[in-house]
């Protein structure tokens, strides 16, 4: 069972995920901002991830492209509003398959006795957009993603 807590309260336009990773926060933060690390953990195992762009600084852009075994492509992009190592990342997030549905994602990295508590809050423009993300399988994909991150940090 995963150690990731995934919360989507009824009637709220947000999703919050928390997990404590057994690694220093500098290392956990670096895994979120290093283009060589992202393909090793970002997304479900059934997909491969390519980092098209990753400029982890205020005003910087990011774009990740995933592929499945059938050759289908799934791309995501956004803009960094803040990247304060090793404490916080604030960025927009948009799935290119449903353009116009932009969410604001804030990720906080807290040091807890040499481990790192990560809290990621995604705020959607509407309840319908949030519920659409949930119906697409976001919880399973997000939990599997953080399970893969844990594996990478332990390697």
- Write out the two tokens for 116: 């790192």
pLDDT band at 98 (very low <50, low <70, confident <90, very high): confident
pLDDT tens-place string over residues 103-126: 999 999 999 999 999 999 999 999
CA distance 151 to 34: 16
Q: What percent of the chain has pLDDT over 90?
A: 88
State the pTM of this model.
Answer: 0.94
**pLDDT (0 to 100) of residue 2:** 66
**What integer best gives the mean pLDDT of the chain?**
95
CA distance 147 to 15: 18
CA distance 108 to 155: 23
The answer, yes or no, to whether residue 1 has pLDDT greater than 60, is: no
The answer, yes or no, to whether residue 138 has pLDDT greater than 90, is: no
**pLDDT (0 to 100) of residue 63:** 98
CATH class, range 5-44+84-154? alpha beta
Average pLDDT over residues 3-31: 96
Average pLDDT over residues 10-36: 97
The number of CA neighbours under 13 Å toward the Cβ of 45 is 7
Q: Is 28 in contact with 37 (CB distance < 8 Å)?
A: no
């Amino acid at each position: 069972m995963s150690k990731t807590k995934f919360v989507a309260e009824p009637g709220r336009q947000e999703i919050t995920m928390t997990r404590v990773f057994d690694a220093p926060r500098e290392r956990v933060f670096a895994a979120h901002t290093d283009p060589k690390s992202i393909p090793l953990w970002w997304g479900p195992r059934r997909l491969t991830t390519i980092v098209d762009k990753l400029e982890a600084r205020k005003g910087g852009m990011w774009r990740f492209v995933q592929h499945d075994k059938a050759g289908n492509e799934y791309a995501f992009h956004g803009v960094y509003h803040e990247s304060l190592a090793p404490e916080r990342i604030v960025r927009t997030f948009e799935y290119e398959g449903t353009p116009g549905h932009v969410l604001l994602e804030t990720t906080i990295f807290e040091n807890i006795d040499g481990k790192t508590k990560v809290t990621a809050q995604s705020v959607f423009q509407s309840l319908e957009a949030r519920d659409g993300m949930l119906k697409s399988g976001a919880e399973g994909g997000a939990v599997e993603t953080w399970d893969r991150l844990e594996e990478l940090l332990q390697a």
